[in-house]
Amino acid sequence: MFTFDKSNILLSKHSTHNNSLSTIGSIFIELTSINSTNTYAMQQIKAKLAEHGVTYFAHSQTNGKGSRGKSWHSQTGSNIVLSTILDVSFIPLSKQFFISIVAALSTHDFFTNYVHNGISIKWPNDIYYLNHKIAGILIENNVKGNKMQWSVVGIGANINQTIFPDALANATSLSLITQEKYAVISLSHHLCSCLEKRYRQLLNGEEAALLQEYNEKLFKRNEKIKLKTGNVIFSCTVKHVTESGLLVVKNGKEESFDYDDVQWIIE
C-alpha cells in the first residue's frame, strides 16, 4: 500500500497483480474525492493506461453519473462507489448487453449474501429490494472501429446510508434492511469477487446460462407493471429480456422495447 499525503485524490492502492489478466479488484485504488469514478476510469483508458480488473473506489464522489444522464447521489463514506475496467475485446458488438448482464448478476449475487429474499434485477441493470432501489449500474464502453475494447462498469450500492433526498423516495440501503453497519471497503472487495466470477463465465462462453439466470432474477417478471412511452402510460406484463437487451412485455400481444424507448412507473 502506498499513500500520497499531498493529494486529496489518490488515497491508497492495494495490489496483488500477478498475471496478464489480473483478478478483478486485485488492483484496488482508493480515491478520497473525485468527480466521477466512471469518468476517471475512462480517462485512464483514453490515456492508454487501462489495465483489466483495475478498480477505482471513491470515498466521496462530487458528480456521480447515473443512467439517462441523471446524477448518482451518495453520502460520503457510507456506500460502495466504484468503477472497474474490464477487457471486453472478446465480445462482439452485437452482444455487448452481456456486460450489463454480468454486472447486474454480480451485484445481485453480492446482495443476496446479506439479504436472503427480495433482491431482484430491474431491467436493464438496477438492483432492487422489493420495490426499493438499492444499487445502480452505469456501463460505458470503449469501442475502436467496430470492435469492443474496454468497458467501465460503475456500481453505486447503498450500504450504510439511512437518509436519502426526497427526490430518491424509493431508495433503500443494506443497513436499512438489516439494521446493521458494514465495513464498506471490505464489502467492495467482496463485490469485486462476485464480478470476477461472472466475468469468467462470460469469458468461458456461458452466455446462455447468464441470460437464463438474469431472466430468472428479473424484477416483476410475469407481473403487471406500468410503462411510459412518450406521453402514454400503459399496463403490461413483464416476460423476459433478450440477449440484445430488449425488454419483452405482453399487452394482448408481445412487444419489445429498448431502454431509451420506455420508462418504468413504479407505484
Residues 107 and 234 in one domain: no
Residues 171 and 230 in one domain: no
> Cell 477505482 belongs to which residue?
56
Residues 191 and 252 in one domain: no
Range scoring the smallest mean pLDDT among 3-7, 14-18, 40-44, 218-222:
3-7
Residues 191 and 233 in one domain: no
Instruction: Measure the CA–CA gap between 99 and 182, rounded to whole angstroms.
Output: 28
Contact yes or no for 140/42 (Cβ under 8 A):
yes
pLDDT of 228 above 90: yes
pLDDT of 140 above 80: yes
- Residue 128 located in a structural domain: yes
- Residue 129 located in a structural domain: yes
- Nearest to 136, CA basis, from 153, 160, 118, 113: 153
Q: Which residues of 103-126 are buried (b: 16+ CB within 10 A; e: fewer)?
A: bbbbbbbbbeeeeeeebbbbbbbb
Residues 232 and 163 in one domain: no
Task: List residues bridging with 51 in a β-sheet.
Answer: none
Q: Which helix (H) or strand (E) holds 233?
A: strand 232-241
Residues 18 and 141 in one domain: yes
Residues 121 and 159 in one domain: yes
CATH number, domain containing residue 78: 3.30.930.10
| pLDDT band at residue 266 under the 50/70/90 scheme | confident
Half-sphere exposure of 85 (CA within 13 A, CB side): 25
In this prediction, residue 20 carries a pLDDT of 59
For 256, the grid coordinates are 419489445
Residues 143 and 245 in one domain: no
pLDDT of 6 above 50: no
- Residue 59 located in a structural domain: yes
Residues 233 and 256 in one domain: yes
State the average pLDDT for the chain: 90
Q: E strands along 70-163, which residues?
A: 80-87, 119-122, 126-129, 132-144, 147-157
Residues 163 and 131 in one domain: yes
Instruction: Measure the CA–CA gap between 234 and 230, rounded to whole angstroms.
Output: 11
Instruction: Measure the CA–CA gap between 209 and 201, rounded to whole angstroms.
Output: 9
pLDDT of 54 above 60: yes
- Nearest to 176, CA basis, from 258, 62, 38, 78: 78
The arithmetic mean of pLDDT across residues 186-193, rounded, is 98
Instruction: Measure the CA–CA gap between 74 and 113, rounded to whole angstroms.
Output: 22
68 is in which domain, residue-wise? Answer: 10-216
In this prediction, residue 165 carries a pLDDT of 85
- Nearest to 135, CA basis, from 143, 126, 144, 148: 126
In this prediction, residue 3 carries a pLDDT of 34
Q: Cα-flanking dihedrals φ and ψ of residue 217, to 5°?
A: -100, 15
In this prediction, residue 218 carries a pLDDT of 98
Q: Which residues of 62-82 are buried (b: 16+ CB within 10 A; e: fewer)?
A: eebbeeeeeebbbbeebbbbb
pLDDT of 74 above 80: no
The arithmetic mean of pLDDT across residues 218-222, rounded, is 98
Overall domain count for the chain: 2
pLDDT of 178 above 90: yes
Could you tell me the pTM of the whole model? 0.91
pLDDT of 4 above 50: no
